[in-house]
């Protein structure tokens, strides 16, 4: 975890772009540049944060590329360590050889998010920023990346700072009335003091509620395709995949008993889990199959329950249906290209339905719309105000602690507890928020008191 070694990684995505950047960070970053770079200025005389032109050579004195190099000396760099960036030609091949050059020299390939981690460890980022950067790295869809960026430029931080400002303000007021006599600070208006805290308590609640949306954005929505054998599950999966132009990643399903695909559906990163690959073991009629299907349905964010529109429901259909919850189940009536002969009226309690023909890719727009509707109606609607959502469990936990302390505070006030007890609750709330924003020192509270009240003899 400690930056004893020097790491290297491409800072631009690989591809045939014009310029590629390779970044080094760590105590030997400048050394490594020294052994490979020849320019008009020698390394020792290069100023921090200035670009220098030169050429890179490997240990056999062969020229690797013509480059621009910049040294950013600690602590004024992104990671807080010595950082070197090499701007080279952008081709994959060149990037690869530049990387190799430094790996050979003794640098280590950076792990995902390791630059950020170092930045954080060296105090260059606050926790919320660091986590958001990691969020950006991991974001797998447009939507998730928007939330991650919001957090980075501090929407979440801003919101939480706002809370913490208000808590500080209230605490200062409270402490002023504890540490100074009434003739200097006036009588305490307790209801007036509590009102904004009540409001914050509700807002914190909303933010905590947004956490599930956050998780969805981070990890993707878990969508399960369920149904009896031969009802058209795999064709539905293929149809959906065919529609989606943004296949992000394919996890080989051959060795597993489920097939998973990741895609972006209606703006959400979706993990589509198909029961098709499970063969008959996933058949709800079989005991084992029922158990497994139930497990999957329980963790799914959304279940696409496929039935055959061309024939009446069977006992197996009903068995499968029993595994579903109405609020997150979309009944997909397949085979709309054939004559419809299904007794859908038996599906009481499952009002969300959509007709499709997986075979001919009909009704897929309706399907995505219905999926979006369900996702938004569920998790997405609990997004915090201004679209701020909490995506990190740690943030959520801190907010939960804050909420609990505020609840204690309001209860204490209800019981007419003395001011120092209220202050204790409020300090707890503040220090819980401090897990995200950093601590508040007693001096800051005193500063506020002195700036607001004419106190002292």
Positions that interact with other proteins (CB under 8 A): 1-4, 27, 74-75, 80, 120-124, 127, 175, 177-181, 183-184, 412, 415-421, 423-424, 427, 438, 441-443, 445-446, 449-450, 454-457
CA dihedral sign, ordered 173, 177, 182, 183: negative
Q: How far is CA 40 from the centre of its chain?
A: 45
Provide the minimum distance between the beta carbon of 353 and other proteins in the complex, in angstroms, as a whole number: 52
Provide the minimum distance between the beta carbon of 149 and other proteins in the complex, in angstroms, as a whole number: 23
Nearer to other proteins, 101 or 172 (CB): 172
Beta bridge partner(s), residue 260: 251, 273
Provide the minimum distance between the beta carbon of 49 and other proteins in the complex, in angstroms, as a whole number: 17
Nearer to other proteins, 235 or 440 (CB): 440
Provide the minimum distance between the beta carbon of 175 and other proteins in the complex, in angstroms, as a whole number: 4
Provide the minimum distance between the beta carbon of 172 and other proteins in the complex, in angstroms, as a whole number: 9
Nearer to other proteins, 175 or 392 (CB): 175
Provide the minimum distance between the beta carbon of 84 and other proteins in the complex, in angstroms, as a whole number: 17
Nearer to other proteins, 129 or 262 (CB): 129
Provide the minimum distance between the beta carbon of 11 and other proteins in the complex, in angstroms, as a whole number: 22
CA dihedral sign, ordered 153, 156, 162, 164: negative
Provide the minimum distance between the beta carbon of 440 and other proteins in the complex, in angstroms, as a whole number: 11
Provide the minimum distance between the beta carbon of 434 and other proteins in the complex, in angstroms, as a whole number: 9
Nearer to other proteins, 406 or 449 (CB): 449
Q: What angle in degrees, to the nearest 10, is found between the helix axes of 142-152 and 211-219? A: 120
Do residues 112 and 137 touch, judged by C-beta distance below 8 A? yes
Nearer to other proteins, 235 or 412 (CB): 412
Nearer to other proteins, 115 or 120 (CB): 120
Do residues 22 and 9 touch, judged by C-beta distance below 8 A? yes
Do residues 331 and 300 touch, judged by C-beta distance below 8 A? no
Tell the burial category of 285 from Cβ atoms under 10 Å away from its Cβ (0-12, 13-18, 19+).
Answer: middle
Nearer to other proteins, 3 or 314 (CB): 3
Provide the minimum distance between the beta carbon of 420 and other proteins in the complex, in angstroms, as a whole number: 5
Nearer to other proteins, 141 or 440 (CB): 440
Token code pair at residue 455: 């106190």
Do residues 1 and 75 touch, judged by C-beta distance below 8 A? no
From residue 196, alpha-carbon distances to 71, 135, 168 in Å are: 48, 32, 12
Nearer to other proteins, 15 or 438 (CB): 438
């Amino acid at each position: 975890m400690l930056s004893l070694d020097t790491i290297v990684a491409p800072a631009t995505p690989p591809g045939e772009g014009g310029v590629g950047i390779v970044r080094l960070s760590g105590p030997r970053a400048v050394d490594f540049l020294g052994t490979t770079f020849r320019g008009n200025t020698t390394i020792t005389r290069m100023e921090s944060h200035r670009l220098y032109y030169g050429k890179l050579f490997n240990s056999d004195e062969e020229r690797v590329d013509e480059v621009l190099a910049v040294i950013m000396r600690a602590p004024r760099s992104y990671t807080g360590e010595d950082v070197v960036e090499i701007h080279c030609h952008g081709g994959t091949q060149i990037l690869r050889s530049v990387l190799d050059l430094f790996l050979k020299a003794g640098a280590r390939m950076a792990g995902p998010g390791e630059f950020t981690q170092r930045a954080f460890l060296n105090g260059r980022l606050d926790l919320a920023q660091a986590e958001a950067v990691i969020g950006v790295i991991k974001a797998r869809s447009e939507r998730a990346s928007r939330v991650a960026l919001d957090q980075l430029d501090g929407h979440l931080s801003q919101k939480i700072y706002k809370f913490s400002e208000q808590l500080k303000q209230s605490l200062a007021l409270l402490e002023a009335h504890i540490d100074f006599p009434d003739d200097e600070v006036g009588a305490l208006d307790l209801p007036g003091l509590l009102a904004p805290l009540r409001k914050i308590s509700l807002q914190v609640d909303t933010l905590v509620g947004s956490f599930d949306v956050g998780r969805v954005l981070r990890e993707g929505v878990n969508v399960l395709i369920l149904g009896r054998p031969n009802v058209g599950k795999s064709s539905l999966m293929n149809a959906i995949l065919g529609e989606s132009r943004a296949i992000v990643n394919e996890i080989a399903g051959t060795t597993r008993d489920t097939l998973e695909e990741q895609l972006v559906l209606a703006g959400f990163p979706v993990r589509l889990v198909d029961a098709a690959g499970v063969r008959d073991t996933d058949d709800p009629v079989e005991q084992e199959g029922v158990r497994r299907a139930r497990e999957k349905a329980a963790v799914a964010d959304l279940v696409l329950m496929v039935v055959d529109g061309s024939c009446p429901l069977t006992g197996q259909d009903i068995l499968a249906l029993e595994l579903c919850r109405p609020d997150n189940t979309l009944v997909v009536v397949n085979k709309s290209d054939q004559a419809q002969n299904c007794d859908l009226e038996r599906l009481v309690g499952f009002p969300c339905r959509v007709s499709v023909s997986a075979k001919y890719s009909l009704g897929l727009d309706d399907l995505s719309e219905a999926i979006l509707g369900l996702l938004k109606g569920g998790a997405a609607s609990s997004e915090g105000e201004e679209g701020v959502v909490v995506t990190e469990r740690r943030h959520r936990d801190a907010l939960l602690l804050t909420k609990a302390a505020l609840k204690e505070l309001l209860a204490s006030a209800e019981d007419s507890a003395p001011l120092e007890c209220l202050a204790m609750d409020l300090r707890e709330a503040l220090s819980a928020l401090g897990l995200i924003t950093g601590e508040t020192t007693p001096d800051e509270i005193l500063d506020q008191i002195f700036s607001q009240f004419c106190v002292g003899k």
